[in-house]
Amino acid sequence: MTGIFCVNFAAFRPPWKPCEAVWCGPCYVPDPNDKFYHHTPSDEDGFDWRPPSDLLRHRQGRNGDHLICPFQCDMCWFRNLQHRDPLGDNARDALLLCCIRRANLDALWGRESHTVDSTLRAAKQLVKLWRQVNLEPVFPALGPYPVGDSVGFRVAIGMLLKSLEPGRYHRDHQQFETIRKLRAGYSNMYMASIEGASSLRTVGGDRVKHFLTTSPTQSTWFERFSAGCLQRMGQEVRQDWAIPLPAMHSLVELLEKEWNGAADTRERSLIVSIATYSLIAFCGSFRGNKVFLTDLYGLRKYCYDLQGKDHVIVPLLGRFKGELHTRYHLAPMAATTDPGLPLRKWIERLVMIREEEGKRQGPAFCDDAGGIAEAYAYDSALVARLVAIQEKSPEVIGPEVDLPEEFGISRSFRRGSTSTARARGIDDKQVELINRWRKFEQARGRRPVLPMREHYSDIRILIPEMVKYSQGL
């Protein structure tokens, strides 16, 4: 602990005294055992784009940090959390001290250097001005803090330890988007606690409310820590690969061959499920999980619409996030798109297979027990077929695409659909109209609960316009 403050920490053994150390920013450096991930901005060739001024970011403190962020030294925090001094030969104590140092550094770096410098400069100017008139320089006390954890330091330690675990993309760390869920989980538990429930206050009306809470994870220090931790770790966003229109045609052609060569109903059921799912997700610009809400009864009822056979109605039935009741979302789509995607043909086959299985209602995409199918089964089946297409036709799916990593039924079809719509010149009005159901999803329970026939009557007039989107795909 030497070389951090201009003071000997041995003076603070029990009975504990307030810390009177002098802050020295450049002396406050990471623990020698610090293995926490630091994001390095670089191009695809690995060139480091950081300016020289950024090389010490999160790797040392700055003069003036203690004036802008609530701060307690490592020993104070250890005693607040453990109610004792650290043991020199204890590996867990050493790890905790390492985490405390990293949490403090992340919190200090939650504000940019120019903000710290301006605050320090203002403090010095105030002292100089006060002395001109013999006023004693008095600032708000920076300590000592009460014993305990009122700023969420324990949760911060948990997030740091979680970041050391293997992640989805990296073996040596997890993403900030993953570890921040610990904060959300703790905040939810705090709201359910006696302390949280009794101290909670709200400001606002029926539609907009602001909550006043004493949750430690909403403290100023924790806000600084979260911001600094995010800056240190960075955000690595890997979007799902957008499936292009030629790949969709190749996928449908491959599934058509499999359908013609299928030997039994079980095999045909899997093939038709994958094909129909893919076509609905692509033509409807749906996120993958929404397609699993397709209702079999409604699909049978509206397969042949009274207005003709140039379109089909895909009904989604389920409980959407933020809504209070079960909802219907009816999506009209072209029976066969202009480029030749045969949506109606595969929907008719799906309805036929379900009738052979004795199913006439419930989820259209179901498992053997009749419940909603699991996404992973469809994901793995689609990846296997797309890999086969990639190997046979690299001009359709380039060899640079890592399908097991980059394809995901959650967003690949939706991203491919919207990208294709723009490339083919589909009007933005049609794009907004086909995505009309998303606005209902965001209505948060204020939309009335109506039977499916009522929703159908409502969109019947809009069908010609709504079909234009999928017609052009």
**Cα separation, 87 vs 49, whole angstroms:** 42
pLDDT for the residue numbered 436: 54
Q: How confident is the model at residue 434 (pLDDT cuts 50, 70, 90)?
A: low
Least confident of 59-68, 108-117, 370-379, 458-467: 458-467
Residues of the chain with pLDDT > 90: what percent?
Answer: 50
More confident residue, 443 or 104: 104
Q: How confident is the model at residue 458 (pLDDT cuts 50, 70, 90)?
A: low
Q: What is the DSSP letter of 372?
A: B
**Cα separation, 308 vs 369, whole angstroms:** 35
Cβ atoms within 10 Å of 175's Cβ, excluding its own: 19
- Average pLDDT rounded to a whole number, residues 21-44: 84
Q: How confident is the model at residue 45 (pLDDT cuts 50, 70, 90)?
A: low
> What tens digit of pLDDT does each residue of 278-291 get?
999 999 888 888 89
pLDDT for the residue numbered 83: 92
- Average pLDDT rounded to a whole number, residues 86-95: 92
pLDDT for the residue numbered 448: 44
Q: How confident is the model at residue 435 (pLDDT cuts 50, 70, 90)?
A: low
- Average pLDDT rounded to a whole number, residues 231-240: 84
> What tens digit of pLDDT does each residue of 250-306 get?
999 999 999 999 888 889 999 999 999 999 999 988 888 889 989 998 888 776 654
Q: Which of 292, 302, 283 is nearest to 471 (CA)?
A: 283
**Cα separation, 20 vs 372, whole angstroms:** 63
Q: How confident is the model at residue 463 (pLDDT cuts 50, 70, 90)?
A: confident
pLDDT for the residue numbered 459: 65
Least confident of 42-51, 99-108, 369-378: 42-51
Least confident of 62-76, 192-206, 336-350, 422-436: 422-436
pLDDT for the residue numbered 305: 54
Question: Which residues are CB-neighbours of 243 under 8 A, at least 6 positions away?
Answer: 251, 282, 386, 407, 412, 413, 415, 416
**Cα separation, 5 vs 66, whole angstroms:** 12
- Average pLDDT rounded to a whole number, residues 79-91: 91
Q: How confident is the model at residue 171 (pLDDT cuts 50, 70, 90)?
A: confident
Round the average pLDDT of the chain to a whole number and report it: 83
Q: How far is CA 379 from CA 182, 252, 271, 373, in A?
A: 28, 16, 13, 11
Query: 245-471 in CATH: which number?
Result: 1.10.443
**What are the residue boundaries of the structural domains of the chain, listed by start?**
9-233, 245-471
Q: What is the DSSP letter of 313?
A: E
DSSP three-state, residue 408:
coil
| Chain centre to alpha carbon of residue 241 | 17
Whether the predicted pLDDT of 323 surpasses 80: no
**Cα separation, 469 vs 473, whole angstroms:** 7
